[in-house]
Chains A and B, each alone.
Chain A
Amino acid sequence: MKFPDPHEVKAQAIPGTEGWERMYPYQYQFVTDDPVRARYEKETFWFNDGLHYPEPLYPFDTIWDEAWYLALSQYNNRIFMVPPVRGVDHRVINGYVYISPVPVKDPEEIGKRVPHFMERAGFYFKNWDALEARWKVKMEATIRELEALRIPTLAEMEDLRVVTDAIGESQGYHLLKNYDDLINLGLKCWQYHFEFLNLGYAAYVFFLDFMQKQFPSMPTQRVTQMISGIDVIMYRPDEELKKLARLAVESKIDGLFAGDADWASLEAALRKEPRARAWLDALETSRQPWFNVSTGTGWFHHDRSWNDQMSVPLTGIRTYIGKIKQGASIERPTQKVRAERDRITAEYRGLLPDDATRKQFDELLGTAKTVFPYVENHLFYVEHWFHSLFWNKVREVGAILKEHGVIADVEDVWLLRRDEIKSALWDVVTAWATGVTPRGTQTWPREIAWRKGVMQKFKEWSAPPAIGTAPEVIQEPFTIVLWGVTNKSLADWAAVQGAKEGARTSELKGFAGSPGVVEGRARVCKTVAEVSQLQEGEILVAPTTSPSWAPAFAKIKACVTDVGGVMSHAAIVCREYGLPAVVGTGHATKIIRTGMQLRVDGSTGVIAIVDEAAAAPEAPPLRAAAGGGRRAT
């Protein structure tokens, strides 16, 4: 399969962005001035990590990419000694991240790694639950450390205590040091992030692999359904909203939630209402930690948490109050999901040819069930709870840079690399100590204005899904399960390459995320804030969803996303609610418009645009929908 040459892709620079390379770490560049590296890059298969980065990376946000570049690779290659794979290499073009698993090529070396892998990975699988309990302790301690971390402001005159307590250190020094601490906590958190994840995914991938070898036509979602209905904390924030909705109705204060008053005025009204006291107390309990859930994936600085954006949980609470008042159930149909899971598991098991195969099935399913909670739960701890707090700490750093005139707006801080922020802080702190003007006040605002323009141009660029040379064999578990790199996806990617820009279609394909077929009206929500516009029974079309989108699922008929596999949030939640889902369509939010009539087939992964007439009229009309699967009678 032929994919574009990475160096040629990069050489077609977007006018006005020349020099963009300085926005990212130098080792992320595809290079032509180093023949050995250039050849390696040309002969390697790189695919765009659109799963994590549907949009170009801001220079600061690159921190998490660097963090997992290190963490995933080290656990594969230096800690667990995964025999046939080293780490995953990274590059960036126009702000989009390209990654590639690095194989161990020498069979003898692979053989030498095997006993180490068996010992080390075996230890984790064997002691999974106990080690996971320890992980939780480590992770919570890291979060507490982050919460306690102070970003000091630089005073005109240091506090007298510095003298009387003979501290011997200035706030300037502490600012520099604590910024380092902040970054280091972030990196540490990502060290933990991967402690179980590689092995967790391996267990999951090979259960999937086993099932699909037994049943070549078995949809992936049916395999994942076998490990559904297990309680994971991802549902917890949503459960908190339900609890608060119930309490509001029980306390007879639900009337106050009527209308669309914003959180500030509603809170003021609640504070004046004596019957609302218990509710406000309950809210405080829910907020820590559950409202640290991000409104996005948590990977980007613009993914604010519920705590930052109370309008989002408020919309959810209002939805649930409405449902309760109508007498509708707001419970997840967990019992039903579990019963169906058990039925499916038993039937598939019954179709296996013999006892040896059934024993292997039991083993692999058992392991997949053991790892499943971690694979889901780490997201709340790392991407949501830790990240939400982390972004706000960086905003505090941004506020200091702004105060000292290095950046014009706190949110400009994201246009600097993490090491550039360190340099700028040095500039600010030495200038503060010395009593002069930081040099950066002249250089950074200009650079940031230019970078903003570059980011805008990057957003308009359409990144090729894959570049370089496709390999014959892929062994790295993440590559297969998370990014879905298979023969089929490669062929699809090659096809996308061949398709004309802006070509219109009446049918979209994605991964079959959750089974079932429904027809309904589309509602495109680009961000979770738009969820409040959702009408009962619509089909949600979103770039991706995260736990904070949960209340939306109580209203919708089906869900379609641009990004994600069968283990993505939307797919998992839809399976729990028994709603059809098609995920990872690539560009549903660009093609589908609110009001279009869709037919979503979550069993085949196909979305048909049945009627576009009622759609919002901003885009040119599509070609007529092809004859659907109905017999004319």
Chain B
Amino acid sequence: MSLGAPLVCWLEECRKDSVPLVGGKCSSLGELINAGVRVPPGFALTTEGYRRFIAEAGIGREIAAMLERLDTDDLEALGKASASIRARIEEQPFSAELEDLVAERYRKLAVRCCMPAVPVAVRSSATAEDLPDASFAGQQDTFLWIRGVDEVLHHMRRCISSLYADRALAYRARRGVGDDRLAISVGVQKMAKAYTAGVMFTLHPANGDRSVIVIDASFGFGESVVSGEVTPDHFVVNKVTLDIIDRTISQKEICYTVDSRTQTSRATEVPLERQRIQSLLDDEITQLAWMGKRIEQHYGRPMDIEWAVDKDLAAGGNIFILQARPETVWSARQPAATSLPGTAMDYILTNMLAGKRLS
């Protein structure tokens, strides 16, 4: 245990190089915040916190012993081992010190959001920096709409235990990854109560045009857009000048909202009179595109971004970036081999001879 490494930290304290401490997801969120992008506030239990938890629980050896006996090719045995390890982890209490630290952050987060028992998302943030296949654990476990510190602690343990999910165990066995280097961080982030949400690409997904930002938006949580359950409103924004150069307003029949009783998101019908209304204001589109541009500049490559407009907050400060990852389709593609003769005269001739094809 290195001295001084924090057990918990705010997302804004995370940076690109914080991956060993807070995992990929949280460090990426911290990176966005520090790039001036608005991200729902939150904090993380660090890998240091995770190690402390395991050490204080004193179950490290016990787990190792259980795994040692395990025949990873026997799926049934694997499942059983996974279940009992996870149960062991989840029944361990946090020490008073860790519990206080998490409770303190959660309380401060609630104050920041002006919401007692602020609903949060609790998700694992893997430290898979040495593995090319980041989904190694298969355990990007995410628990939504969690309220109250006890619930938060409980779901933190569930995230930690997900390290020992059967698929994760099988995967590590197949890849020969030792368990000794394992660590996990858990992020706790305010749930964005999305009035409108969606995705944004910092290039045109249809033609790879890097001079535009394309935004798909629909009412409610982004699930409806990501899953393709609705045809979202579609906006094309000029990346250089941030003006909206094309828009298609669709009929958005359903949206996902939070069920206040069960605290889960569910699909509901959008009132007919709202279905054909633009789901994002022009100013919001511009603001969002500006953020997209910042994110792309920060990462130096085209990005695929999830975002939401939060109902709980006032206009002007309510657009949030939930997730940003590198765009992969066009970025992987080699540019078409166009012959560029160099001089203007040659270009004119070549292209004049080709003509403009009309269909």
User: Residues of A at under 8 Å CB distance from B?
Assistant: 82-84, 110, 114, 117-118, 121-122, 125, 202-203, 206, 209-210, 213-219, 222, 344, 347-348, 351, 353-354, 356-357, 359-360, 363-364, 366-367, 470-475, 477, 480, 486-487, 490, 512, 515-517, 603-604, 627, 629-632
Contacts and interface: CB of A to CB of B under 8 A. Distances in A.
Contacts of B276: 627
27 contacts: A83-B349, A118-B345, A206-B348, A214-B211, A216-B209, A217-B209, A217-B236, A222-B238, A351-B239, A353-B335, A357-B340, A360-B340, A471-B358, A473-B355, A473-B356, A477-B352, A487-B359, A515-B241, A515-B243, A517-B282, A603-B238, A603-B243, A603-B244, A627-B277, A630-B277, A631-B278, A631-B279
A512 B246 CA distance: 11
Contacts of A117: 349
B204 A84 contact: no
B148 to A, nearest CB: 32
Given A114-B349, A122-B345, A630 B278 contact: yes
B325 to A, nearest CB: 20
A604 B245 contact: yes
B207 interface: yes
Contacts of A517: 243, 282
Nearest to A218: B211
Interface string B315-347: 000000000000000000001001011111101
Contacts of B357: 472-473
Contacts of B358: 470-474, 486-487, 490
Given A125-B344, A474-B358, A84 B246 contact: no
B245 A351 contact: no
Contact of B209 (A218, A360, A366, A477): A218
Contacts of B343: 363
A275 B257 CA distance: 76
B353 interface: yes
Contacts of A215: 209-212
Interface string B150-188: 000000000000000000000000000000000000000
Given A217-B245, A603-B244, A630-B281, A367 B211 contact: no
B345 A125 contact: yes
A604 B246 contact: yes
Main secondary structure, interface of B, reads loop
Interface of B: 204, 207, 209-212, 236, 238-241, 243-247, 249, 273-274, 276-282, 335, 338, 340-345, 347-349, 351-353, 355-359
Given A472-B357, A473-B356, A631-B277, A348 B211 contact: yes
- Indicate the member of B245, B343, B358 with the most A CB atoms within 10 Å: B358
Nearest to A344: B240
A360 B339 CA distance: 10
B245 A84 contact: no
Contacts of B249: 629
Enumerate the 8 nearest inter-chain pairs by beta-carbon distance, A residue then B residue, closest first.
Answer: A475-B355, A215-B211, A367-B344, A473-B355, A603-B243, A360-B340, A347-B240, A216-B207
Contacts of A125: 344-345
- Indicate the member of B245, B281, B357 with the most A CB atoms within 10 Å: B245
A604 B349 CA distance: 31
A401 B207 CA distance: 64
A477 B356 CA distance: 9
Contacts of A515: 241, 243
Nearest to A215: B211
Contacts of B207: 216-217
Contacts of B204: 216-217
Contacts of B353: 83-84, 110, 114, 475
A367 B342 CA distance: 12
Nearest to A367: B344
A512 B241 CA distance: 14
B240 A206 contact: no
Contacts of B355: 84, 473-475
A102 B240 CA distance: 39
Given A206-B347, A217-B204, A82 B210 contact: no
B15 to A, nearest CB: 25
Contacts of B352: 82-84, 202, 206, 475, 477
A583 to B, nearest CB: 16
Given A475-B355, A487-B358, A363 B348 contact: no
Contacts of B349: 83, 114, 117-118
A219 B238 contact: yes
Nearest to A480: B356
B287 to A, nearest CB: 15
Contacts of A217: 204, 207, 209, 211-212, 236, 238, 245-246
B249 to A, nearest CB: 7
Contacts of A348: 211, 240
Contact of A629 (B209, B247, B273): B247
Contacts of A366: 344
Nearest to A111: B353
Nearest to B214: A217
A604 B247 contact: yes
A603 B343 CA distance: 31
A360 B278 contact: no
Nearest to B284: A631
A344 B241 contact: yes
A185 B67 CA distance: 100
A517 B204 CA distance: 23
B298 to A, nearest CB: 15
B127 to A, nearest CB: 34
B344 A474 contact: no
A246 B87 CA distance: 87
A474 B246 contact: no
A222 B335 contact: no
Contacts of A203: 344, 348
Given A474-B356, A516-B243, A632 B274 contact: yes
A210 B346 CA distance: 12
A479 to B, nearest CB: 9
A474 to B, nearest CB: 5
